[in-house]
Amino acid sequence: MDLSNPLYKNQGIHVNIVLFTVNNGEIDVLLVKRNNQPFVGQWALPGGAVYNNEDTNDAMNRELFEKTGIKNIDAKVFSVFGNPNRAPQMRMLGIGYIAVIDKSAISFIRKSQKTDDADWFNIDEIPQLAYDHNEMVSKALEYLKQQVWQGGILKTLFPNGVTIPELYEVYSKILGQNLDRRNFRKKLLNDNILQDTEQVVKYKGKKSSKIYKII
């Protein structure tokens, strides 16, 4: 590598997290409103630039905490965004992280040093975001659709266990289609992603349903 080559200069790395939750059958994503340039006043995904002395995972956790006050999130990389023009300041490689959480189990700050607000937005009502964050959200949703049958990505969404009828509503919303209930139940049980807790609950006041733990 020839470090004197000008094509290597003025490059950086962004980390951003697409934090999803499922609320009353609807998918929400957490956004923050920027109060600095560029894109001042626009909503964006939580995130920012990576320091030269830190790991990208550490940077993601630091930026999420600085912008929202949220910490200890189990997030994973879902894609890398490499368009050389994605940031107006300089060439910034974007690393996208994804997590699905139970929003009732966390709290977040509305305002930080670099943000004026933070809030959950319905996935169907997302405004024009800063940078390429609309593309990030779209790709994260596609990744979620691919991973949802593995089960693990939804573990933190149901920390106290979940019933199959409840999972049916979540899967139907994420996948954007009504699934065959009998085949859905059979697939979840056959794929061994659920562990029977030997407890039952009445879901939405209907007949008792078993509570499972996602493994």
For residue 151, give the nearest of 76, 73, 75, 215 by alpha carbon.
215
| In contact, 20 and 99? CB cutoff 8 Å | yes
Q: Does the pLDDT value for residue 9 go beyond 90? A: no
Q: What pLDDT does residue 202 have?
A: 85
Quick one: DSSP state of residue 191? Answer: T
Q: Does the pLDDT value for residue 76 go beyond 90? A: yes
Q: Does the pLDDT value for residue 4 go beyond 90? A: no
Domains of the chain: 6-149 (3.90.79.10), 158-214 (1.10.10.10)
Concatenated DSSP letters of 55-108: -HHHHHHHHHHHHH-------EEEEEE--TTSSSSSEEEEEEEEEE--GGG---
Q: Does the pLDDT value for residue 74 go beyond 80? A: yes
Q: Report helix, strand and coil shares of the chain as percent, to nearest 5.
A: 35, 30, 35
Retrieve residue 153's tokens. Answer: 């990505």
pLDDT tens digits, 83-117: 999 999 999 999 999 999 999 989 999 999 999 99
Q: How confident is the model at residue 8 (pLDDT cuts 50, 70, 90)?
A: confident
Q: Does the pLDDT value for residue 205 go beyond 70? A: no
